[in-house]
Amino acid sequence: MSSNDAAQQALAELRAAVAASDRAKVELQQQVSAAREEVAQARDRFRTEQAERRQAEAAADRDGENGRARQELQRRIDARQTDWHQVMRGVDTHWSAVEVRQELERGMDASLRQLRESDPELAEEIEAIRDGRAEPRLGDRRDHEPPEGSA
């Protein structure tokens, strides 16, 4: 085989390798796009389910199913006198907000005690976020911020 033939063969092999690499790149891009779409759909489903849960909880609170404090707090939320962001930040000092916040904190403390047994590292991370020693690292910031017009 002449040096020209060897060069031609090497060039053909190189072109085949580049073509295979291009095909692999396109395939990976398609997989990434599909994964992103799947994540977006899952996020949308989660947000829809979360909104439905919030609506059901608000209806139960309105009906007094979860106690007087929650009923009063929901009345005040409905009247736009407060919102959950103000309640949880401690800005709202109305008795109903204080009672509900304490109730939720007790529930969170109980959940964290259970979580410490199964996943101490995650429990520590959640406690650090709750106590203001750390910022949430995962997720879309829109999941952590109050809706527009509140605060």
pLDDT tens for each residue of 6-30: 999 999 999 999 999 999 999 999 9
pTM (global) more than 0.75: no
pLDDT at 120 over 50: yes
For 60-103, write each residue's pLDDT tens digit: 999 999 999 999 999 999 999 999 999 999 999 999 999 999 99
For position 139, what pLDDT does the model report? 59
pLDDT at 134 over 50: yes
pLDDT at 141 over 90: no
Whole-angstrom distance, CA of residue 70 vs CA of residue 84 = 12
Whole-angstrom distance, CA of residue 41 vs CA of residue 35 = 10
For position 63, what pLDDT does the model report? 98
Residue 147: pLDDT band (50, 70, 90) is low
Report how far apart, in Å, the C-alpha atoms of 91 and of each of 69, 122, 141 are: 17, 28, 21
Mean pLDDT of 125-142: 76
Amino acid code (one letter) for 145: E
For position 149, what pLDDT does the model report? 54
For 47-57, write each residue's pLDDT tens digit: 999 999 999 99
| 116 contacts: CB under 8 Å, gap ≥ 6 | 123
pLDDT at 129 over 90: no
**Mean pLDDT of all residues in the chain?**
90
For Cα atoms 86, 124, 99, give the angle at the middle one, nearest 5 degrees.
Answer: 30
